[in-house]
Amino acid sequence: KAGVTQTPRYLIKTRGQQVTLSCSPISGHRSVSWYQQTPGQGLQFLFEYFSETQRNKGNFPGRFSGRQFSNSRSEMNVSTLELGDSALYLCASSSPGTGGAYEQYFGPGTRLTVT
């Protein structure tokens, strides 16, 4: 099976712009979670989607949003970018999603740099 894929791998944006990151989960996985990794804050949970519904949300401002499509692919969007949004954004998928915590498989991440 192919692993979790994320596009693009690298991105450079300017403050105030918006950005959309994409994640394709492992085939058959219906849960997709997003994390932000920075040197200062470490790995922080952004949100989780299952069957096109957001099930969990971390403590991030409303500028961070996401969605999931019927094929389980997910996108996250960050509007009005700030310098502090520079980070590695990781997507993870897991299966099946109804009770119990199954291991999450991570993609290679998207490295976002905001200048």
Partner 1 sequence: AQKVTQAQTEISVVEKEDVTLDCVYETRDTTYYLFWYKQPPSGELVFLIRRNSFDEQNEISGRYSWNFQKSTSSFNFTITASQVVDSAVYFCALSGSAGGTSYGKLTFGQGTILTVHP
Q: To the nearest whole angstrom, how small is the minimum distance from the Cβ of residue 15 to partner 1? A: 25
SS3 81: coil
Binding test (CB under 8 A) with partner 1, winner from 18, 27, 51, 56: 56
Q: State the nearest-atom distance from the C-beta of 61 to partner 1, in Å.
A: 17
Q: Is the CB of residue 110 less than 8 Å from the CB of residue 4? A: no
CB 23, min distance to partner 1, A: 13
Q: Name the residue among 39, 33, 45 with its Cα closest to residue 111.
A: 39
85 in Cβ contact with 114 (< 8 Å): yes
Give the binding site for partner 1 (CB under 8 A): 31, 33, 35, 42-45, 48, 50, 55-56, 58, 88, 90, 92, 94, 97-109
